[in-house]
Amino acid sequence: MSSENKIKLLLVDDEVKFLQSISKRLALKNFEVTAATNGKEAIESAEKGLFDVAVVDFQMPGMDGAQVLKTLKAKHRYLEIIMLTGHATIDSAVECTKLGAFKYLEKPYDFEKLVEIIKEAYETRLKKKFEQNQKRIEEIQRLSIRESPLGLLKALARLDNEEK
């Protein structure tokens, strides 16, 4: 699979050995993996590169997983985020779900199940982007009928700004 076809994955966990191990295993499954050891590093990585899915540890020093989730979702609306935690509580699961997490998994987890969930998250991302693109095409078609060329250009600029 060429790198253009690989799912681009952001892994965030403060346990460095775990992060290295899971990164290697996921790379062997043909994912393009970028690892971050804390929330600040994860947000900086997301600013530099486009990711399809993020797998974020819930409990980290400094910026915790919920803060990372909230920040990433605010800035990257199509990024699907899977939360991992060794300290699961009903409250944290509810909080992450409300913030837009795709799934919430407890450690230890089954590696093959994680791979399947990452693929599901990627499919969900593609569907959301496709639906948004369809709406955008329909909006452009409506505008092209009723707007002058200059009005159409202004409307397209507005649509581009909304997309960001």
DSSP-assigned states of every residue in 74-131: HH-TT-EEEEEESS--HHHHHHHHHTT-SEEEESS--HHHHHHHHHHHHHHHHHHHHH
Tell me the pTM: 0.82
CATH 1.10.12.10 fits 8-125, yes or no: no
pLDDT of 164 > 60? The answer is no
- Give the residue with greater pLDDT, 61 vs 161: 61
pLDDT of 89 > 80? The answer is no
Alpha-carbon gap, residue 104 to 121, rounded angstroms: 12
Residue 3 pLDDT: 56
Q: Once rounded to an integer, what is the mean pLDDT over residues 100-123?
A: 92
Percent of the chain's residues with pLDDT above 70: 95
pLDDT of 12 > 70? The answer is yes
Q: Once rounded to an integer, what is the mean pLDDT over residues 122-147?
A: 87
- Give the residue with greater pLDDT, 44 vs 150: 44
Q: Once rounded to an integer, what is the mean pLDDT over residues 3-17?
A: 89
The rounded mean pLDDT for the chain is 88
The domain ranges of the chain are 8-125, 129-163
Q: Once rounded to an integer, what is the mean pLDDT over residues 113-132?
A: 94
Per-residue pLDDT band for 4 (boundaries 50, 70, 90) equals: low
Over residues 22-54, the pLDDT tens digits come to: 999 999 999 999 999 999 999 999 999 889 999
Give the CA dihedral 60, 121, 93, 50, nearest 10 degrees.
Answer: 40
Residue with tokens 């060329």: 149
